[in-house]
Chain A
């Protein structure tokens, strides 16, 4: 007779969120290990289309967690190769659509989704990807229709989480918070990465609303799930700066600006050092570093970085004319309220700079913000 269990080993068919999550450093390390395991084999003879598409998604995920543009570039490159090698596989076009959307190439992404649909991809999968592209384009009603239908039929962490990000972007804070709670309640995984991502989105939402304490709470939660979550760290630093904790903000941003290939951290450092903390030499250093990198990125991926570059030139970059050009370009790509607001702010800054130049004709137009 086999002995009954002397040590209680409970089992449940459905979990609760009191369950333990994988530590963020392990989750990130294992994401790295997945990429290490797949990437050397990412050829048609070694990996099938679905696994190659999976690798592309993993690279994009790592890019979003570490704020690594190199990972996004690699994902886009692999997606192009996958479509070349597997031009009859819907999964290839779905993967490329996702990476193109990351680079704000929304029209190209929609074209890929059309091809995927013709190749008999699961219609629901295609629609879910379309919703993400519609959201990027600011076609919120169309995105919402798809996502609400999906959530109605399948109220899961994934479907409600997708709706959370949509309403967060639309600025409906009450609905986004409610959906976030509903979504998290349904989470059944052990990876902290999806939960960290959702908290990050809500943190950004509250930043846009100017509710810094609430933004802080969500960003702290995101960093607790994944300590190395670079964009969460960067936005947390921004919040701290807004709350007047400049030295802390600078201390948080310097490692990011030093290690990341995303110029946003250097741009934030330049802004904080310049406007708040009175470190003009540091501000100049980080401004030049960010400016050079934004110029590189705009040359290579104009759609993807037009909005962030415009924000930079509007603030620490000190070139409202350049900011306006980029903001208009961004608005051509995506007609979101934030894109419209960016153009308005750029016009106002450009006009203000023009007026200042009119009264100070010896000063160049683009130097006004820096001079201020």
Chain B
């Protein structure tokens, strides 16, 4: 749930609020690429997908354009493929009994694969398998200690933290795609997920690529000397991840520079010196806010940002990159932001979700039972 509550507008309809995006080669079948989008963090058992939202996976072919610590970057094609998922109003939607909801996946080739939610076998079409339904939240972190770290400007993580998301559920959409057949190219792809308001002119509600860009990296205003009062996330959500509006890039850059510099200062030393115009070395890379996955490389449990780190180091990448469901992304991010890997691992004290995801379709663990009410 790295992107949950990521902007006031997204809160208006929880079923449109993307919490996480994952992309990884199918562990048992390298011909297949797995894409997953979670929405509706902390979903109760009644949660269903909105009939007014298009859940979109966008993929563009990517390649490495530049390497080295100063300016590594990707080149991303202008053309793209997309998978659009839509959902019907479930029959008996106002009943307490859980009625399955019918969903439809429009593939890049224009074929529609229909399925019912919570069917673990999913729907199947030529080169694609689809699951949608309620699952256990795969993300884990200690939000209270992140907030305390920011408020006190000191690392507040405990040896044993408290998983804010323990036992909660999300609505997940999982696609398993024969990438060579359906994506017509590759093997490296830039992946971003979006929710859009359906209608004659679909309107973007939210977009997510990398984890914790909006909340951990962009939301805090107090370090930003340029736009101290700007709630930047709704603006950021409305942007095309592959083509940021030039007018606003300066605002995103200023916020990202300020917040990354704050994190870098937490261990009392500077691991990320700013360049001559005040840019943090990671800002450009992170504002290219899409997961990059190389489907030709083997699946690896801890591959998030491995391609980008290899680019900075000027070496070939060894893993598929992207993001696997079970990776402890928060520890990775804090270690990267605070010491750049030049020091000990920074752990938030939460090392596992309530249930690990599996290596077989639909990957995410079944939903947790509802809890009793707090006193």
Contact = CB atoms under 8 A, between A and B. Distances in A.
A143 to B, nearest CB: 23
A210 interface: no
A161 to B, nearest CB: 13
Interface in B50-105: 50-53, 56, 59-61, 77, 79-82, 84, 89-90, 93-94
A2 B203 contact: no
B150 to A, nearest CB: 12
Contact of B147 (A20, A26, A48, A194): A48
A22 interface: yes
Contacts, number: 183
B346 interface: no
Nearest to A228: B94
Interface string A177-206: 000000000001111001000000000000
Interface string B27-64: 00000000000001111111110111100100111000
A15 interface: yes
B250 interface: no
Contacts of B82: 5, 9
B197 A15 contact: yes
A2 B370 CA distance: 44
A158 to B, nearest CB: 10
Contact of B53 (A5, A12, A34, A190): A190
B371 A40 contact: yes
B51 A19 contact: no
Contact of B372 (A18, A34, A40, A227): A40
Contacts of B201: 10-12, 15-16, 18-19
B374 A39 contact: yes
Contact of B16 (A15, A35, A37, A190): A190
A33 B200 contact: no
Contacts of A36: 44-46, 370
Interface residues of A, number: 51
Nearest to B84: A9
Nearest to B61: A2
A3 B79 contact: yes
B169 interface: yes
A89 B47 CA distance: 30
Interface in A151-194: 188-191, 194
B203 A20 contact: no
B3 to A, nearest CB: 15
B365 interface: no
A30 B12 contact: no
Interface in A1-56: 1-7, 9-16, 18-23, 25-30, 32-43, 45-46, 48, 51, 54
B204 A25 contact: no
A21 B51 CA distance: 8
A39 B42 CA distance: 10
A22 B13 contact: yes
Contacts of A38: 42
Residue with the greatest number of chain A CB neighbours at <10 A, chosen from B169, B185, B197: B197
B246 interface: no
Interface string B180-207: 0001110000000000111111111100
Residue with the greatest number of chain A CB neighbours at <10 A, chosen from B41, B48, B84, B203: B203
Given A3-B184, A190-B12, A18 B81 contact: no
A22 B374 contact: no
A30 B48 contact: yes
B242 to A, nearest CB: 11
Contacts of A54: 11
Contacts of B5: 51
Contacts of A7: 106, 108, 110
A198 to B, nearest CB: 14
A34 B370 contact: no
B326 interface: no
Given A2-B81, A39-B374, A30 B13 contact: yes
B283 interface: no
Given A37-B168, A228-B94, A30 B46 contact: yes
Given A2-B61, A5-B81, A19 B203 contact: yes
B373 A18 contact: no
Contact of B44 (A35, A46, A189): A35
B52 A37 contact: no
Contacts of A51: 5
B300 interface: no
A26 B48 contact: yes
Interface in B1-25: 5, 9, 11-16
B267 interface: no
A39 B371 CA distance: 9
Nearest to B372: A40
Given A7-B110, A40-B374, A190-B53, A34 B14 contact: yes
B302 interface: no
Contacts of B51: 20, 22-23, 26
Contact of A189 (B13, B56, B202): B13
A15 B198 CA distance: 10
Contact of A20 (B143, B168, B197, B205): B197
14 contacts: A1-B61, A2-B79, A3-B81, A5-B82, A7-B108, A10-B201, A11-B196, A16-B200, A19-B199, A20-B198, A22-B52, A30-B15, A33-B48, A40-B373
Interface of B: 5, 9, 11-16, 40-48, 50-53, 56, 59-61, 77, 79-82, 84, 89-90, 93-94, 106, 108-110, 143-144, 147, 162, 164, 168-169, 183-185, 196-205, 238, 240, 370-375
Query: Lowest 4 CB-CB distances: which A-B pairs, in order?
Result: A36-B44, A19-B199, A15-B203, A33-B47
Given A20-B52, A33-B45, A188-B203, 4 more contacts: A5-B82, A35-B44, A37-B47, A41-B42
